[in-house]
Structure 1
Amino acid sequence: MEEKDNQLPHFDNKEDREIWEDILNNPVKSLTPEKENHFFENLYRKIDTYERKKKLRRLRIYSTVAATIMLAIAGLIGYNATFKPDVYLAKLQNSEIKLADGSVVILAQGGKLTVEKSFPADTRDVFLEGNAVFHVAKSKEHPFIVHGKGYETKVLGTVFKVTQDGKTFNVDLYEGKVMVYQQGRSKEPIVLKPQQTFSNLGIPQVASVTQTVDKKSAPIKDKSAAFTFDKCPISDVVKVIEKTYGITLHYPEDLENAKITLSLPNATAEALIQSLAIQLNLNIKQKNDSIFELEK
């Protein structure tokens, strides 16, 4: 009897339990119509109650899942609207971008500009990949900073162009004044005036400032340029001099590992070669207008 009790449904009604016991103990015995009706009414009612509870439980689960999804979507939308930076791409052609402070950026084809949601804040920071021309709205209180590959260009209001190609970083200034910083270095910035160009000429240890010229025009040896070399290999120094002034410069092979630290604010080719010769304790021999030699 104890084994059969474990198989009985757990009805609270004592009469229902007695009916089940009657069926199990007397399987061939017929129920009275009254008991049969009462039993099935209770059974259907309990099944209906169970199904209602199951549907309600399922509805609660679905409601919870739906609410969670809606909260996640709302959170994502809120993040994108409040925190996620604005990213501008110039895929197939140049793109004109108007920033919240009134500045205008002409992003060159293939370029990418990232602007934080906080723009404009105490500093107006933008992050550039590729090339762009900036027409910066003037603000003495809020510097405009362009973060490039290894360099930062800081202005208060001006027109300038940033060109990045591999390791080469250039800034052409058309109006106003800008300051160029090399990221990770504590040295003083390079200050540009209108119609000047900053370039590292593809060498991180080099900083040059020259007059902005037409790229098609050939460099001339008597033009002036400002240079800073910071522990730069002599081979790179010579490449910079040759590229800037359109000349050829030879030096002793045993100086291949020499490092040059030199800063000149305004130098012609001859003045720069002279400073280099003094630092290396060498003599200058000029073969013609475009070929120079450093010798012992």
Structure 2
Amino acid sequence: MEEKDNQLPHFDNKEDREIWEDILNNPVKSLTPEKENHFFENLYRKIDTYERKKKLRRLRIYSTVAATIMLAIAGLIGYNATFKPDVYLAKLQNSEIKLADGSVVILAQGGKLTVDKSFPADTRDVFLEGNAVFHVEKSKEHPFIVHGKGYETKVLGTVFKVTQDGKTFNVDLYEGKVMVYQQGRSKEPIVLKPQQTFSNLGIPQVASVTQTVDKKSAPIKDKSAAFTFDKCPISDVVKVIEKTYGITLHYPEDLENAKITLSLPNATAEALIQSLAIQLNLNIKQKNDSIFELEK
């Protein structure tokens, strides 16, 4: 048989305890009305006190949880107001954005511009996805830097356009001067003058600078461009030359894995092909005005 649990509830006075023991030991024994009333009054009072304490504990727990939630909400609001960057989207059409320094950005449809809350600080940094035209307020002390896909465009005050399409990154300069940096590289920046266009032509190892105005209508022999190739596969170099000058250039198939490192500040098609031939120790054969061959 199981042993009875002799542990008794806690009573504040000896009389109540004796009554409780008497009930346990003699369940059929009746109490006097006075003792019965006194006992149950104390019992109900204890139950009521216990319930009130339990409710108070719950209230304290709920209050603590509510206070924690309020602090979290206040912290989130404070973060959004103080640190979270402003994000501008041009979902359905071009969007005009006026920045705190007075600069104006025309964000092309589908574009996204992110601006830190600290703007404008020592440097005026913005982060661009897509295309945009920038009208930057002049400030020699606070450079304006557009962070794009793999490139940074740094200006002091000017009007320029940044376009990004896949791996292609372009900058068209209309007024002033800009410097284009490739992220992760410590080399000197590409400096643009008004009416010049920078492009990597979709190839990270390529940097080209051409005239923005009438560059498509200019005769091939009059076209000129600045190029920088940094360990660029010859196949990509040839694609750049053909695309820039509208010509066809053939080269020996066994040079397919050759890497080209070359920098020309202002080159026509003939000058660029000549420099390429010298580096590869090849001869140039020109079939007509638009077809060239590099041969051994």
Q: Secondary structure at the residue paired with 1:249?
A: strand
The alpha-carbon deviation at position 5 of structure 1 amounts to: 7.6
Q: Secondary structure at the residue paired with 1:137?
A: coil
Q: Is this contact kept in 1: 2:215–2:223, CA < 8 A?
A: no
Q: Secondary structure at the residue paired with 2:186?
A: coil
Structure 1: gaps of 5 or more residues? none
1:254-291 C-alpha deviation (Å, 9 max, x unpaired):
22222211111111111111211222222222211111
Q: Secondary structure at the residue paired with 2:120?
A: coil
Q: Distance in 2 between matches of 1:215 and 1:69?
A: 61
Change (3 A) 1:6 1:245: same
Identify the residue that residue 294 of structure 1 maps to in structure 2. 294
Percent identical across equivalent pairs?
99
Q: Secondary structure at the residue paired with 1:68?
A: helix
Structure 2: gaps of 5 or more residues? none
Q: Distance in 1 between matches of 2:217 and 2:68?
A: 65
Q: Is this contact kept in 1: 2:153–2:179, CA < 8 A?
A: yes
Q: Secondary structure at the residue paired with 1:139?
A: coil
Change (3 A) 1:9 1:2: farther
Give the count of matched residue pairs. Answer: 296
Q: Distance in 2 between matches of 1:266 and 1:258?
A: 24
Q: Distance in 2 between matches of 1:263 and 1:276?
A: 10
Change (3 A) 1:44 1:256: same
Q: Is this contact kept in 2: 1:222–1:245, CA < 8 A?
A: no
The alpha-carbon deviation at position 248 of structure 1 amounts to: 1.0
The alpha-carbon deviation at position 165 of structure 1 amounts to: 0.8
Q: Distance in 1 between matches of 2:27 and 2:207?
A: 104
Change (3 A) 1:37 1:215: farther
TM-score by length of structure 1 reads: 0.94
Identify the residue that residue 159 of structure 1 maps to in structure 2. 159
1:161-188 C-alpha deviation (Å, 9 max, x unpaired):
1111111110000111000001111110
The alpha-carbon deviation at position 3 of structure 1 amounts to: 7.1
Q: Secondary structure at the residue paired with 1:3?
A: coil
The alpha-carbon deviation at position 8 of structure 1 amounts to: 2.8
Greater shift in the superposed pair: 100-109 or 17-26: 17-26
The alpha-carbon deviation at position 216 of structure 1 amounts to: 6.7
Greater shift in the superposed pair: 229-238 or 210-219: 210-219
Q: Is this contact kept in 2: 1:114–1:128, CA < 8 A?
A: yes
Q: Secondary structure at the residue paired with 1:53?
A: helix
Q: Secondary structure at the residue paired with 2:4?
A: helix
Q: Secondary structure at the residue paired with 2:220?
A: coil
Deviating beyond 6 angstroms after TM superposition, the runs of 4 or more aligned structure 1 residues are 1-5
Change (3 A) 1:111 1:16: same
Matches within 5 A, 1:51-200: 51-200=51-200
Q: Is this contact kept in 2: 1:221–1:290, CA < 8 A?
A: no
Change (3 A) 1:32 1:214: farther
Q: Is this contact kept in 2: 1:128–1:148, CA < 8 A?
A: yes
Q: Distance in 1 between matches of 2:85 and 2:3?
A: 70
The alpha-carbon deviation at position 23 of structure 1 amounts to: 2.2
Q: Is this contact kept in 2: 1:221–1:247, CA < 8 A?
A: no
Greater shift in the superposed pair: 249-258 or 166-175: 249-258
Identify the residue that residue 274 of structure 1 maps to in structure 2. 274
Q: Is this contact kept in 2: 1:178–1:191, CA < 8 A?
A: yes
Q: Secondary structure at the residue paired with 2:240?
A: helix
Change (3 A) 1:219 1:136: farther
Q: Distance in 2 between matches of 1:185 and 1:15?
A: 91
Change (3 A) 1:254 1:184: same
Change (3 A) 1:5 1:225: closer
- Over aligned residues, Cα RMSD in angstroms? 2.1
TM-score by length of structure 2 reads: 0.94
